[in-house]
Amino acid sequence: MSEVVGEISEGVGTITLNRPERRNALSVAMAAGLVAELRAMEASREVGAIVLTGAGGAFCSGGEVQDFHVQGGQGAGAAEVDQAAVEEQRRQQEETVGRIYRCRKPVLASIPGAVAGAGMGLALAADLRIGSPRTIFATAFGAVGLAGDFGVAWLLHQLVGPAKTRELMFLNPRIRGEECLTLGLVNWMVPEDELQQRTHEIATRLARGASHALKEMKQNLLRAPHEDLTASMHAEVSLHKATGLTRDHVAAVKAFVNKETPVFPLGWHEELT
């Protein structure tokens, strides 16, 4: 069976991490499969939104610690850091966490259970997250004597602030259920038996939205933490005016005036990108 499964339905591309026997720990094959599916979903005219989830009741438990043990540690017993391995992991992180974070389409992480280590990077890079009372977040790096990777420290800092990030990184508490919602690690917390349906509802709503506007909204949001207000407003105007030229905008205005629900066929905006 493939370690990553991709499916498209009703405008939603679902990517499932599929090593349930290992709580979807991130293997080399899984990382490669994830990159391939992310590229395909982002490029597909059939996909308006992407869901990232895990099989078997977990999201992703991070790196494959059993492999570390067999190798004699992540460094395989070497006395010096392998610079080729550093460059390879940088590329892998950029192609997974970086690609999710900068994706031109909305990404929703549906988190059925445990998410830890590198898995947190994948989940936190998504635009939105939904969980259930079984959802558990843990940074986990300190528990195996590692400093942390896959952007977890940076992404946590953006979501929960510096003090809480230090607590989560240094002490590695398990954040469960409603506390995930209180901290802002998830946007929604729903009963376990409703997770799949609510994920579908949110994702299809995103997929049926004005895709060009959503793409440019995301550019504004990605830029905002790194610019002052004036620079951000100036950049917003160009994108705002560009979306005003799209068929999505014209259709939305007409529907608004007529008190109707607008319809945005996938791919309408592509001639203008």
**Structural domains of the chain sorted by starting position, each given as residue range(s) with its CATH number in brackets:** 4-207 (3.90.226.10), 211-272 (1.10.12.10)
| Contact in structure between 256 and 144 (CB atoms under 8 Å) | no
Among residues 116, 110, 89, the alpha carbon closest in space to that of 25 is found at: 116
Q: How many Å apart are CA 35 and CA 39, to the nearest integer?
A: 6
Q: Half-sphere exposure of 37 toward its Cβ, with a 13 Å CA cutoff?
A: 27
| pTM of the entire predicted model | 0.90
pLDDT tens, residue by residue, 171-198: 999 999 889 999 999 999 999 999 999 9
| All residues at 6 or more sequence positions from 193 whose CB lies less than 8 Å from its CB, including other chains | none
pLDDT for the residue numbered 198:
98
DSSP conformational letter for 98: I
pLDDT tens, residue by residue, 57-99: 999 999 876 655 445 456 556 668 788 989 999 999 999 999 9
Q: How many Å apart are CA 231 and CA 204, to the nearest integer?
A: 33
| Contact in structure between 217 and 242 (CB atoms under 8 Å) | no
